[in-house]
Each structure stands twice: as C-alpha cells, then as structure tokens.
Chain A
Amino acid sequence: MKEQIKKSLLTLCLFIFMAGITVGSGYYKKSVSSERGSFIIALPAKKDNQEVLLNIAEQGLPKKLIQPNRISISSGHGGGIINRGNESLWVKVQTEGFLGKVQLESKDPSFNHETGVFSRPLKPNQSFNLAVNLTIPKGKLKGHTVTEGNIKLINSKDESLIGNIPVRIINSETDGIEDSTKNNDTNEACH
C-alpha cells in the first residue's frame, strides 16, 4: 500500500514537473522571439510601414552558437501582406540596402523567389505571406548598426510603390562606434 502511494506520488510529481518544464519552454520561446522579425502590411499603403527593428544581442544561446548571421523577417504563416483596397494588386517584392545575401520566400505557389514576383493577383481582402532571409557576413555583426534596408512592395503593372517596410538590424552589445553598413557590400534582391 505504502509502495503504491509512493509510486502514485512520484507519477504525479513527474507529471507536474514536465508540465512546468513545458510552460517554461513557452516563456523561453517568448524570450527569444526577437530573433525573428515580423511585419504585417495593408496594401496599398500610403506611408512607410512601422520599422522592423532586430537586435542581434537578444538572440538565444543556441542561435548565437550555430547561426547568428542568418536572420529572417517574415509575415508569418497566416499571410501578412493584405490587400485592403478594392482592386486586385499585382505584387512584386524588391529589397534594397541589406548587407550580404538576401533570399525571398513565400509559401504561395505563384511566387517566383528569383524575380520576387507573385504571378497571381492579390485580390481584395486576400493575403500573401513572405519571408526575407538575410545572410550577413559574420565579420559584419560587430557594428552597432549591422545592416539596414527596405522591403519594397511594388505594383508590377505600373512599377509604382505600394508599400515599404524599413528594416534595421542592430547589435547592442557593441559600443556603437563601428558601423557595418558603411561599406560597399550591400546586396539588392530581385530586380
């Protein structure tokens, strides 16, 4: 009987312990959520979107050890580039000003990641998702402003700008004297 009670108590403790660990992992995830940038933009936008600001110093230890120089700025799984207008939009994505390699990704089958063009129109109240993945040269991570640039959304019919998302990546662990963006290594994607 005593053995049975001891066993049950141990089982209960393990259950509570694991539930606690899991909740703790949720808080950990929250603490490192700034490793990824996110944005939502309503098109056509009359002014620049809110700036996406990422701080490399806030990366979690695993990220710092394995992949500190690879950064993703995305609109999330559920869309994020939303057409709030009354007409369909033909969207093309361009980036400018970022250091290193820039890759564009979207789960939308109509997206060409090389040209940055969505081949199907974005109908009113529909959305596309987009991820802009940056590979910054490792030596350039030490400047206070690591890199800054823009994600531009262009109407591919008339080449007019219909949305702009400014992005700034900083490293608050440095003293702010060195500035990585002051060189000629900037790359632009999808012209």
Chain B
Amino acid sequence: MSEYAIKINNLTKRYSGLWSQQPVDAVKNLNLEVHRGEIFGFLGPNGAGKTTTIKVLLGIIYPTSGEAYVLGRPAGDPQNHYKISYLPENPYFYDYMTGREILHFYARLFGIPEPERSRRVDALLDRVGLSRAANQPLRTYSKGMLQRIGLAQCLINDPELLILDEPTAGLDPIAHIDIRDLILELRSQGKTLFISSHQLSDVEIVCDRVAILNKGELVRMGKLEDLLSGGHVEMIAEKVPETVLEPIRQLGGRPSLHDGRLIVEQPDDGSIDRVIDLVRAHGGHIISVKPYRRTLEDLFVETIQGGRR
C-alpha cells in the first residue's frame, strides 16, 4: 500500500486557446504529496488551478504532462472510485428527490445492495443530522442542509480519501462548526481529507499541512506549525527615555517612541523578557505585552501578494 493518498509529479494542464487566444497553463509542473490519514489544505486565489488539479485527480480531465496517483493507482483508474469521494463547490443535487432518495441514488451508483443500502443511508442521515428532514424534497433544504447531504453522499461508500471543494463556503456559523466537527471526526477515523478552501480560518483549525497554489504553480507547502512559526510580541510602555531605543534594536526589536510612549514589535524568540527588563531599568512603565501569532491569512497574503494587504 502506497504511503501517499495523493502523489503528483510534474503535473501540467494546458488548455488550448480558441482561435487566436494563447494556450493557458492552468497548472504548471505541480509536485505534491498528501500522506494517508492527514487533512491537507489546498489553497490559492481564484483561478490558481485548484479545481483543475482536483479534476485531474478524479479523472474528469486528463493531464497535458506529468503524473498523478491516487491511493497508489493512476488518477482516473476506475478502481480508485470505490475508495474516494468528491464534494464539488456549490453542488446541485436532483432537487425533486428527498434527502433519503438522493443518498439511495448515490448508493446505487456503487452497486450497494439492499438491505445494506438502507442501513447505510439511515446511518448517514443520522450522522449528518438530517434524519428528521430525510423525507423532504431537497428543494426545501437550506444551504447548510444541502452541504450536509453533500457530505453524506461523500460518505456513502465509506471512502479512504475525501476531496472537498469549499466545504464550508456560504454556511452560517452553526452549520460551519457542524461541518468542521464532522471533518475532524473523519480524520480521527483515519480518513484522508484533501480540502480546497478560501475559508482560511477553518483550514488553520483543521489542516495538518497546506499547499498554496498561485497562477498554476506551487508556491508554498508544508506543515502548518512550520509555516506559521515566526510570530511577534507587541509591547507598549510609558515614560520611556530615548536612550532605550538603540539597545532594543540590538535585541532585534522594532521600537517607535512618541512623547514618551514606546511601542516595540519584538520577535517571538524569548527576547521580550530582556526588553521588559531594559525598559524598567530606564524607569519606564509597562502598559501591555501582547503576543501576535502569525495566521494562515497572513501567510496566504504574504505568499500571494508579497505581504501587501
């Protein structure tokens, strides 16, 4: 069994231009590995190539060059489809069907026979909290309920790998938390989740590793804890003389002083203790010390726009 749930080698997907248009590389030389059992965040601005990559993984489109493997088999291999599931962004389900009927429909695509089919459908409706709405047509469902039914159809085959495109987009805060909890629960069951999302706060909470794609190219990839290291501590003090500025700079800090009020941005490396001692030794009075952790949003903006906000 391959140690990777997904492995992509030098993947390029080029769309030929119509008439005089230039061909467009939606994905360029992408290399990516997703380990089994992890939640992997696949990030990037609109048009970065995320959905194109997902479609290649699902075998819906074909790579121009390079290779993609899913659960150890080439992407698009029919055997893969028994072990993976996909939830597209803003999916439409046949809305004349009820929640129960749509899950039966997807279960039939897997050839799951009765009574096992009914057992799984009932269990999933219960799991996503839709048992009471099971016999309502989908056209009466809210966006959150549709997203939950979408996740339920993803789980009908008890997949090893789930590929979710914007699973929490447009949801209210309660539905948001429900879906997030369900994602974490799936990881605890050993499933691999590959999540493409713009909801960076969600990704930061649930993902183990992330990759950031921009204009079809991979620009960052790694563990979240590594990528988000390097925060800073902000200290505010009063009655501070100007003579303290130079020693703070020597400790790596960025001080600014106005009318005796000092604001210091200090690297989060323990040196803040020495800055505090220094300020006190010069007769200053500490007002506040506040740690600022680097967020995924900071990293994302920094990566895509070079730090311009």
Q: Do A and B bind each other?
A: no
